[in-house]
């Protein structure tokens, strides 16, 4: 065998080896993608269950008139529980503002908390939240069994709890809306292949 034939054989062996490595790598990427599927909002069993009717409230906003939560509404309502001292809540405020701007008339967003009104009025002014209804009610948080923040509850037009959960990122907040749009209680349930 001359040197040319040996080099051609070695190049073909290298091409075959690289092809096998590329196939193995693509399989590993597929396995990794399944393991790192999008994580939706962290759903808790406390409070009204997804699919059940929400308690109804007629509250007074700290910078607006009365705010109705629960019962029949003209559009779905996202109740976002937050605190002025919660850094993750503050991180999600631009997302809520963008959501309000993008969804416009298709979604009603209500910010909810409890505590001293003066602190919350300062927080509203500081964060530029004047256009969103903001209510203070410990009863509201207790009825939804909110134990950690930020927490969100999405109610459909009939006042039924469509989705809920602890939301620490934009993806988790979006998962509530996506679950509602797909008619699923959670994104996790949809991804597991057990749709409602």
Task: Quote the pLDDT of residue 192.
Answer: 61
pLDDT tens for the chain, 196 residues: list them.
688 899 999 999 999 999 999 999 999 888 776 665 455 555 666 788 888 999 999 999 998 789 999 999 999 999 999 999 999 999 999 999 999 998 877 899 999 999 999 999 999 999 999 889 999 999 999 999 998 899 999 999 999 999 888 898 888 888 888 877 777 666 655 566 665 5
Same domain, 156 and 119: yes
Same domain, 32 and 81: no
Work out the widest C-alpha separation in the chain, in whole angstroms. Answer: 92
% pLDDT > 90, the chain:
59
Instruction: State pLDDT tens for residues 108-146.
Output: 999 999 999 999 999 999 999 988 999 999 999 999 999
In a domain, 11, yes or no: yes
Same domain, 133 and 176: yes
Q: Please state the domain count of the chain.
A: 2
Closest by CA to 112, choosing from 70, 75, 74, 72, is 70
Same domain, 7 and 74: no
Domain coverage including residue 16: 1-36
In a domain, 155, yes or no: yes
What are the residues facing 154 on neighbouring strands?
78, 163
Same domain, 92 and 62: yes
Q: Which residues contact 85 (CB under 8 A, 6 or more apart)?
A: none
């Amino acid at each position: 065998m001359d040197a040319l034939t040996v080099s051609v054989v070695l190049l073909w062996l290298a091409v075959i080896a690289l092809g096998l490595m590329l196939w193995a790598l693509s399989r590993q990427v597929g396995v990794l993608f399944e393991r790192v599927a999008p994580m939706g909002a962290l759903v808790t069993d406390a409070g009204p269950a997804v699919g059940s009717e929400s308690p109804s409230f007629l509250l007074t906003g700290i910078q607006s008139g009365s705010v109705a939560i629960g019962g029949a509404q003209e559009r779905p309502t996202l109740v976002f529980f937050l605190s002025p001292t919660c850094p993750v809540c503050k991180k999600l405020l631009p997302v809520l503002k963008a959501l309000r701007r993008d969804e416009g008339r298709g979604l009603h967003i209500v910010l909810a908390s409890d505590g001293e009104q003066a602190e919350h009025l300062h927080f509203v002014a500081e964060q530029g939240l004047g256009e969103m209804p903001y209510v203070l009610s410990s009863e509201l948080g207790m009825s939804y069994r909110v134990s950690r923040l930020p927490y969100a509850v999405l109610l459909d037009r009939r006042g039924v709890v469509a989705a809920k959960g602890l939301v620490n990122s934009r993806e988790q907040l979006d998962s509530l809306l996506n679950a509602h749009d797909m008619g699923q209680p959670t994104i996790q349930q949809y991804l597991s292949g057990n749709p409602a």
